[in-house]
Amino acid sequence: MILTVTLNPAVDKALEVPGFAVGVHARAAVKSLLPAGKGVNVARGIARLGGRAQATGFIGRNEERMFVESLAEEGVTAEFCAVAGRTRTNTTILDPAARTTTHLRERGFRVGALDVAAIGALLERRLDDSPDATLVFAGSLPDGMLADGFADLLQACAGRGAEIVLDTSGPPLRAAVESGAVGIVKPNLEELAECLGRPVERRDALDGARELRRRVGTVLLTLGEEGAYLLTGSGVVGRRCPLEPGELGNTVGCGDAFLAGWLRGREISDDPVEALSWAVAAGAASAMSETTVGYTLANVQTLLRRCTDTGKAV
């Protein structure tokens, strides 16, 4: 079982506004209104790629039904822990004339100790049914949940046999890595520096990732258009999927697509190169789409043929 855990979900709203400018009135067309948050996006992406994933996490009570029903339509089973307050809305404004993208991010609900205990109990129950599950903790923490409490939650899940996959940032990332519970972590360059507690230059990224890998089992280092690296106890592989000029559409959610592609890729193949190719192809497919999780299996399969080695893996 792959279970994604989104502790600070969002409603993603994409608006198309030709000639968008600050301080003026403009007509907008709603391109999409969908349940989101990094873990939710990963679960939706796995389903898009022909796999199966389940989703959980916190949710505002008023948005619970919309999330569960919308995800079910995409083949994702969801069971959330409802809390008081409203789920945040993240708005993306697309201007097709100027080819610009503007992101507006809201603060979400606040959780308390009882809420944190409730999500812990939900996860324990799920792991009792599937003790060898892969739990994907992705995204930020809601107000009221501390990094240390997050690390405790990961340790409890790992103690029940779960494989912990992590995609977050800031103090929660550092606390999680230091907890010893994380098996797989997906940092970009900035997040790699957060893990190590020091600045990391691009030229030193692989060395930094090797240092991090001594503390977790697997590192998925993402470097944008330069590609990505997979570091395990068996070595390092690097892959990239270049885009043609004019193909870039929307970079929101590319990291989530990458992680969905890698999780699905390793189900399809034991070859780490092929699994990483699925990851970078899914990330590229997401970048070509105007909306979050707007890519398809056919898009990714087409882009797999573009994947190449980064030429720097050792």
290-301 mean pLDDT: 91
Which residues contact residue 265 at a Cβ distance below 8 angstroms, ignoring those fewer than 6 apart? 274, 275, 276, 277, 278, 279
Reply yes or no on whether 256 is catalytic. Answer: yes
Question: Beta-carbon neighbour count of residue 210 at 10 Å?
Answer: 15
Sequence spans of domains, the chain = 1-19+28-145
d(CA 95, CA 58) in angstroms, rounded, equals 32
Q: Give the C-alpha separation, 165 to 157, whole Å.
A: 11
d(CA 69, CA 3): 17
CB 5 within 8 A of CB 56: yes
- Cα(300)–Cα(103) distance, rounded to whole angstroms? 25
Buried b (16+ CB within 10 A) or exposed e, 46-77: bbbbebebbbbbbbbeebbebbbebbeebebb
Residue 113 has pLDDT above 70, yes or no: yes
Given the structure tokens 């697509």, which residue do they identify?
Answer: 257
> In angstroms, rounded to a whole number, what is the distance separating the alpha carbons of residues 311 and 261?
21
- pLDDT single digits (tens) 199-215: 999 999 999 999 999 99
pLDDT of residue 244: 87
Topology classification of domain 1-19+28-145: UDP-N-acetylmuramoyl-L-alanine:D-glutamate ligase (3.40.1190)
pLDDT at 29 over 70: yes
How many residues can be counted in the chain? 314
What's residue 247's pLDDT?
A: 82
- From 12, 115, 167, 256, the catalytic residue: 256
pTM (two decimals): 0.93
Token pair of 197, please? 């507690």
Residue 303 CB neighbour total at 10 angstroms: 23
Cβ neighbour number for residue 186 with a 10 Å cutoff: 23
Q: Is the pLDDT of residue 298 over 50?
A: yes
pLDDT band at 222 (very low <50, low <70, confident <90, very high): very high
pLDDT > 80? residue 249: no
**Per-residue pLDDT at 196:** 95
Backbone dihedral angles phi then psi of residue 95, each to the nearest 5 degrees: -110, 100
In percent, the amount of the chain with pLDDT more than 70 equals 99
Which pLDDT band holds residue 99 (cuts at 50, 70, 90)?
A: confident
Tell me: pLDDT of 313 over 60.
no
Q: Is the pLDDT of residue 312 over 80?
A: no
More reliable by pLDDT, 14 or 5: 5
pLDDT at 242 over 90: yes
Element containing residue 309 per DSSP (H, E): strand 308-309
* Per-residue model confidence (pLDDT) at position 314: 40
Tokens 């043609």: give the residue: 244
* CB crowding 237-258: b at 16 or more within 10 Å, else e: bbbbbeeeeeeebbebbbbbbb
Q: How far is CA 156 from the centre of its chain?
A: 21
What percent of the chain is modeled with pLDDT above 90?
84
Q: What is the mean pLDDT of residues 58-85?
A: 96
Q: Is pLDDT above 50 for 62? A: yes
| Residue that wins the pLDDT comparison between 291 and 47 | 47
| Predicted confidence (pLDDT) at residue 187 exceeds the cutoff of 90 | yes
The values of phi and psi at residue 113, to 5°, are: -60, -35
Q: Which residues sit opposite 235 in a β-bridge?
A: 232
